[in-house]
Each structure stands twice: as structure tokens, then as C-alpha cells.
Amino acid sequence: MPTVFIISAPSGSGKSTLVSRLLASDPGLRFSVSYTTRKPRGNEKPGENYIYISREEFLERIERNEFLEYAEVFGNYYGTNRKNLEMAITEGKDLILDIDVKGARQLKEKIPEAVTIFVLAPSRDILEQRLRARSEDSQEVIQRRLRDAAEEIRNYKQYDYVLVNHQVEESVATLAAIVRAERVRRIRMEEQIRPILRSFEEPNPRLF
């Protein structure tokens, strides 16, 4: 079973940049591309950032129980297809999921051993600056994102790790360190430990 890493953050915290840098530096990770009913923004590429489908198709996929988790955010649906986990298992890679607080809670219930990481901007003012710098949202949307950020941050205690994103390079290094540490936790090393133990139980060859 691969290690599943769930990364959440209020919009504008820099989560996507951190995840992109982490994936580029670690070939043992696979990114779970989420499905969404919203339209692409900016330079987003279908199949790379999200898989964009209609609301009708999304609801049909819910009926077919295709999603490990899904949630409606700002009037649009987002969801994680079960195939992402199946492909990670086949490839022998760990899985990175970039999902919101609601989706993280659902997925943690289904995969209790999943590792959860919450990314934060250093302050409300910095988060607002980052949202405005993207030049993607209206004033109304920015204010709504800030209100939602306050609500999301209150859920930080449900996460295993909290990463305050002061500086990108430092934050990427911290994120990579979390991944490395989790890979060698005892519970994830059991399959490798058992044959080592068995090798000590085998009778020693006679020495001449």
C-alpha cells in the first residue's frame, strides 16, 4: 500500500507551487489529478491541474461511486477518482493529493493511515497580497476566499503537520523532509523488516 499524502491549504497559500516543486524533486511520488466542474483558470492545463468535466458527468460519477472523496466548493464540485490510488499501487509510488479540508476529512476516514499536511500563509495580509498578485479574482471573490480561509484554518488540529509557507525553497525542503520521514515510519517498514527477521531465524550453515 503506498503512503497517501493529503495536502490542504486556503487558496493563495502557495500550496500548488510547493506540490509542483516536490513532485519535480521526487520520482517516487504520483500526483492525484482531481476532477472538477469549474472552468480552467489562467495557465491551467486539462489533465495536469484538473480534469474538467460537466456538472452532469460529475453527478453520474458520484452515482457510480467512482470518487474516494468529493465536495462542493464555491458552487463547483471537486473529487478524487479511485483510479488514482489504484495506479499508484500499480506503479509502486506514493500518492500526493491536493484537496480541501472537507475532502481531507472524508479521505482520512477511508484511509486512516494517510498523512495530512496543512499549508498556511504567514498572515492574513500576506495571504491577501498573494491572492491579489494572481490577478485571477474579483474583489468580491478575494474577500470570500479570505473569509473561507479563516474557517479552514480553524480545522488545523485535524492535520498531522502544519507548514507555514514563509519562503518557497525552505517550505519545499520541509515538505520533502516530511515525506522522507513518513516513508521510514515503522508501520510502513513492516514488509521490509519481516524478511530481515526471518533471515536471522534460519539455521546457520556449519562452519568448517
pLDDT digits (tens, 9 = 90+) for 48-77: 889 999 999 999 999 999 999 998 887 899
Q: What is the CB-side half-sphere exposure of residue 103 using CA atoms within 13 A?
A: 26
Please determine, for residue 204, whether its predicted confidence score (pLDDT) is greater than 80. Answer: no
Residues 107, 6 contacting (CB under 8 angstroms): yes
What are 104-124's pLDDT values in tens digits? 999 999 999 999 999 999 999
Which pLDDT value is given to residue 46? Answer: 83
The single-letter code of the amino acid at 65 is N
- Nearest residue to 103 via CA among 148, 68, 142: 68
Give the domains, in start order, of the chain with CATH numbers.
4-200 (3.40.50.300)
Q: Is pTM, for the whole model, over 0.75? A: yes
Please determine, for residue 78, whether its predicted confidence score (pLDDT) is greater than 90. Answer: yes
